[in-house]
Amino acid sequence: MKGTNFVDLRDAGDPVELGALYAQQGADELVFLDITATVDDRKTLVNLVREVARHVNIPFTVGGGISSIADVSALLNAGADKVSINSSAVRRPELVDELALAFGSQCIIVAIDTRFEPAAGLDFVHTHGGRRITELKTLEWAREVENRGAGELLLTSMDADGTKAGFACDLTARISSAASIPIIASGGAGTMEHFTEVFTAGKADAGLAASIFHFKEIEILALKNYLATQGIPMRI
Amino acid sequence: MEIAIIKYNAGNVASVMYALDRIGQNYQLTDDHEQIKKADKVIFPGVGEASTAMAYLKKKGLDTLIKGLKQPVLATCIGMQLLCKHSEEGNVDCIGVFDVEVKKFISKDLKIPHVGWNSIVKRGENPLMNGLKEEEFVYFVHSFYAPVNKFTTAVCEYEQPFSAMLQKDNFYAAQFHAEISGKAGEQILKNFLAL
C-alpha cells in the first residue's frame, strides 16, 4: 500500500525543532521552502539544513534560491535528500537536465506555481509568489520538466493557496494524468476532507500543507488516521 | 564496535551518517581496504547509477573486496542492486553476491520511479525486522528492482511483488532507505548493528 503526505516549514519558527516535531508526529516528508527568506547567506543556510537533517528521520527536501550544481551539491552534502527548484528552472530550463544528470532525477523536484488566466482560459506558470505571469502553459511546462529529468512535481495553485477552500483538484488531476512522475499537490488545504479530495478526485500522489499544521488547526496524526478510514493508504 | 561506511561515487551518504549519529553509533566513511576488512560491520549505501558505480568500484578494487567480506554487511538501495549479479541499468555485471537479475520497472498505470512510503512484508527468517510488525512502511526511491527470489526476506509490491530485502550468509540488503524510514528504519539499523 502506497501513500504519502507532506509538511512544509514555510513561515515556521525554529526549523530544527519543528522538523523534529513533525517527523515525530507522523509527517511522511518535510519540505523546507523559501529557506533563503530566513537566513542571510548560503553558509548559514547549509548549516541550518545540516541541523534539520541531523534531527529528522524522514525524507527532507529543501527549496529556495537554488540555481546551480554547486548549490545542490552543498545542500545534499549537508543532508538534504532532495531539492526543489522553481524560478531558476523557468529562467533557464536546461538547469533541470543538468541537475538530473549530476544528481539523479530522484532528488530533483520542480516546483510549479500556477494560476488560471481567465482571458486565455488556460493555466499559466507564475513566478514571484504568483504575482508575475510567464508565457509557459502549466500543462506543457509540467511535461517539459518531466522530459528534462524532474523526479517529482510540486504543484501549487496560486488560486487556491491561502483560501483554505480546498486543493485545485481539477487542475491537479489534469497534470497528474498527463505526467508519469509523482505530483505533490499544494495550496488550499483547510479541512481533512480536502486531503481526501486531492488524493481521489485530484489524483495527487502527495499533499502538502503548511499553515494548518503550523497553527495546529489539523494535527498530522489525526489527519492520517482520518484518511486511513477514507480508504487512502497511509503510514501510521 | 567499528563500523565502516564504504565511500564511493554513488550519491551522498550524509543521511546514513546522521542516522547512525541519532542512534549513538560511531563510524568511518572510508574506501581504505584494510579499514573496511577489519571493521566489525560494513554499510554499503548509495544513490546513483549502476554502471557508473560499478566502474568506480572496479577501479578501486572494491568489488572483489566487498564480495570477500566475512563480517555482516548491510547494502541499501543501489548498494543492494550492486550486490546482485547483473543490472539492466547500464546493462552491467555487478558484484554477484546474490544470483539475481536487477530489472527496470515498466508500467502503463503506475508512476516510475517508485517514490515514497510503501509497506514491506517479512518473508521467512529476517532478523533485521525483529521487533517490527509483519508489515511496515519504509521509504523507497528507485526505478530498478530485484524480483522476488530465494534470497528474499521482505517483499514489497509495486505493479508486481519485488524484493524489499535480501539476505545470503553475512550479506543483508534493503532496497529502501532505512536511514530516512522513520522509527521502522531506525529499528532495522539497530537490528543490523546488533547482529
- Taking residue A1's Cβ as centre, other Cβ atoms within 10 Å add up to 13
Q: Is the pLDDT assigned to residue A39 strictly greater than 60? A: no
Q: With an 8 Å Cβ cutoff, are B181 and A152 in contact?
A: no
Q: Write out the H or E segment, with its range, that includes residue A137.
A: strand A132-137
The CATH class given to the B3-193 domain equals alpha beta
Averaged pLDDT for residues B4-15: 86
Cα radius of gyration rounded to whole Å, chain A: 17
Partners of residue A205 in chain B, C-beta under 8 Å: 111, 115-116
Q: Is A215 on the interface with B (CB under 8 A)?
A: no
What was the pLDDT predicted at A2?
A: 44
- Least Cα distance to A7 among A234, A213, A224 occurs for A213
Give B193 to chain A, closest Cα distance, Å: 18
b/e A115-153 (16+ beta carbons within 10 angstroms → b) = bbeeeeeebbbbbeebeeebebbbbebbebbbebbbbbb
Interface test with B, best of A55, A57, A60, A84 (most B CBs within 10 A): A57
Backbone φ and ψ for A50, nearest 5 degrees, come out as -60, -45
**Whole-angstrom Cα distance, residue A75 to residue B96?**
33
Partners of residue B188 in chain A, C-beta under 8 Å: none
Q: With an 8 Å Cβ cutoff, are A59 and B180 in contact?
A: yes
Q: Which of B111, B139, B177 sits opposite A182 (nearest CB)?
A: B111
Give the nearest chain A residue to B157 (CA atoms): A1
Length, in residues, of chain B: 195
CB A236 within 8 A of CB A224: yes
Strands across the sheet containing B152-158: B28-30, B3-6, B41-44, B73-76, B171-174, B160-168, B152-158, B114-122, B135-142
Q: Is A25 on the interface with B (CB under 8 A)?
A: no
Encode pLDDT of A15-25 as tens digits: 888 889 999 99
Residue A17, phi-psi category: left (phi > 0), alpha (psi -120 to 50), beta (remainder): alpha
What's the CATH code, domain A4-229? 3.20.20.70
Q: With an 8 Å Cβ cutoff, are B180 and A81 in contact?
A: yes
What was the pLDDT predicted at A3?
A: 41
**Whole-angstrom Cα distance, residue B103 to residue B100?**
9
Cell numbers placing B156: 514489497
Q: With an 8 Å Cβ cutoff, are A53 and B118 in contact?
A: no
**Whole-angstrom Cα distance, residue B63 to residue B183?**
32
Q: With an 8 Å Cβ cutoff, are B18 and A53 in contact?
A: yes
Averaged pLDDT for residues A101-110: 89
Give A20 to chain B, closest Cα distance, Å: 11
* Cβ within 8 Å of residue B126, ≥6 positions away: B153, B154, B165, B167
Q: Across the A/B interface, how many CB contacts are shorter than 8 Å?
A: 82
Averaged pLDDT for residues A78-87: 93
Q: Dihedral, CA atoms, A220, A146, B119, A72, nearest 10 degrees?
A: -70
Give the residue extent of every domain in chain A. 4-229
Q: Is A21 on the interface with B (CB under 8 A)?
A: no
The DSSP letter of residue A19 is H
CB A109 within 8 A of CB A29: no
- Judged by DSSP in three states, A182 sits in coil
- The residue annotated as part of the active site, out of B49, B89, B136, B179, is B179
Give B61 to chain A, closest Cα distance, Å: 24
**Whole-angstrom Cα distance, residue B156 to residue B137?**
10
pLDDT category, A8, cuts 50, 70, 90? Answer: low
Give A132 to chain B, closest Cα distance, Å: 31
Encode pLDDT of B65-113 as tens digits: 999 999 999 999 999 999 999 999 999 999 999 999 999 999 888 888 8
Q: Provide the angle, in degrees to the nearest 10, between the axes of the packed helices A138-148 and A169-178.
A: 40
Q: With an 8 Å Cβ cutoff, are A28 and B118 in contact?
A: no
- Is B177 annotated in the active site? yes
What was the pLDDT predicted at B48?
A: 78
pLDDT category, A127, cuts 50, 70, 90? Answer: confident
Name the amino acid, one letter, at A58: I
Partners of residue B18 in chain A, C-beta under 8 Å: 53-54, 79
Interface of A with B in 87-146 (CB under 8 A): 103-107
- The residue annotated as part of the active site, out of B2, B142, B177, B186, is B177
Q: Is the pLDDT assigned to residue A134 strictly greater than 90? A: yes
Q: Is the pLDDT assigned to residue A4 strictly greater than 70? A: no
Encode pLDDT of B164-182 as tens digits: 999 999 999 999 999 999 9
